[in-house]
C-alpha cells in the first residue's frame, strides 16, 4: 500500500509552480511505432469483444524501463487515477456543458491501470485499458468540441486545454494523439499539469498511454512510444 500511496500522490499533483506545457519530441507521434498499419486506422466497423480479461492484457511492472518504478493500481485506486488523467474530477461542473468525459466502467474488467513513476523528473507514464462500446473516432469527435473546458468543484476552478495531434501509425482499429494541460490556482499557488497521450483501440479495448508531469521539461516521448507500442501489441495478441 506504500507504493500505491506514492503513485496516488504523484498523480494527484505536486506543490510547485510550473509554466509552459509538455511538447512532443520530434517524431514522437508521427513516426512508425511498431510497423503496424499506417495513418490512424479505419475508425469504423463492428466492435467485437475480446474474451481475455483486461488484467491479462495489461503491461507488467517489469515492462517499464529504468528509472520508472511501476505498480498495477488496485481496484479501489483506479477511478481516482483515471479522473486525474482526464483532468476533470467526478461531480465537477463543466463549461461548456456536455464536456464531461463519458461514463466509464471501473469494475475489475472495466478498467485496468498501471503507473510508472520517475521520481527525479516528477513524472509518470500510465498505461490504461478500458472496455468501450463505441469507436475511438466517436470519442475524438467529442474532444474536438471541447478543446478548452473550465471545471469547478468545491470552489476550485481549473482550465483543461487540449490540442489534437497527428494520429500515430500503429496496428490498431484506430489511433489518436493529444496534448493536454490542466491549469489551476493563481500567483503563488498556480499549478500546471501537462500530459501527452497516445490512444489506440483494438475491438472493444481502448489503450491509452499518458506521460504526465508537473515539471517544465520535455516529455519522455521515446519511452512513452515504446510502452504504447508494447501495450497495443499485447492486446492484439490476446
Assess whether pLDDT exceeds 90 at residue 218: no
First to last CA, the chain: 30
| Assigned CATH topology for domain 2-236 | Protein Transport Mog1p; Chain A (3.40.1000)
Assess whether pLDDT exceeds 90 at residue 195: yes
Residue 67 preceded by cis peptide, ω within 30? yes
- Give residue 189's pLDDT: 73
144 neighbors 11 (Cβ within 8 angstroms): no
Q: Where residue 26 falls among pLDDT bands split at 50, 70, 90? A: very low
CA distance 205 to 48: 9
How much is the mean pLDDT over the chain?
A: 82
CA distance 205 to 151: 28
Query: What tens digit of pLDDT does each residue of 131-183 get?
Result: 999 999 999 999 999 999 999 988 889 999 999 999 989 999 999 999 999 98
Q: Which of 25-34, 131-140, 222-231 has the weakest average pLDDT?
A: 25-34
- Where do we find the cell 483506479? 78
Instruction: Give the number of residues written for the chain.
Output: 238
Q: Where along the chain do its domains lie?
A: 2-236
Amino acid at each position: 500500500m506504500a507504493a500505491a500511496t506514492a503513485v496516488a500522490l504523484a498523480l494527484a499533483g505536486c506543490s510547485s509552480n510550473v509554466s509552459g506545457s509538455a511538447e512532443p519530441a520530434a517524431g514522437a507521434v508521427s513516426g512508425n511505432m511498431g510497423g503496424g498499419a499506417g495513418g490512424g486506422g479505419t475508425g469504423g466497423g463492428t466492435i467485437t469483444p475480446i474474451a481475455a480479461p483486461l488484467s491479462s492484457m495489461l503491461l507488467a511492472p517489469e515492462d517499464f524501463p529504468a528509472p520508472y518504478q511501476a505498480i498495477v493500481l488496485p481496484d479501489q485506486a483506479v477511478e481516482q487515477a483515471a479522473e486525474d488523467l482526464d483532468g476533470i474530477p467526478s461531480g465537477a461542473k463543466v463549461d461548456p456543458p456536455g464536456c464531461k468525459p463519458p461514463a466509464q466502467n471501473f469494475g475489475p474488467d472495466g478498467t485496468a491501470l498501471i503507473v510508472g513513476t520517475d521520481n527525479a523528473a516528477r513524472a509518470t507514464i500510465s498505461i490504461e485499458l478500458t472496455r468501450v462500446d463505441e469507436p475511438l473516432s466517436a470519442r475524438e469527435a467529442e474532444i474536438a468540441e471541447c478543446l478548452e473546458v473550465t471545471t469547478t468543484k468545491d470552489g476550485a476552478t481549473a482550465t483543461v486545454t487540449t490540442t489534437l495531434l497527428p494520429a500515430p501509425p500503429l496496428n490498431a482499429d484506430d489511433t489518436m494523439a493529444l496534448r493536454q494541460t490542466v491549469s489551476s490556482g493563481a500567483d503563488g499557488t498556480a499549478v500546471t499539469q501537462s500530459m501527452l497521450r497516445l490512444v489506440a483501440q483494438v475491438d472493444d479495448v481502448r489503450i491509452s498511454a499518458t506521460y504526465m508531469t508537473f515539471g517544465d521539461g520535455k516529455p519522455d516521448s521515446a519511452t512513452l512510444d515504446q510502452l504504447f507500442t508494447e501495450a497495443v501489441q499485447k492486446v492484439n495478441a490476446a
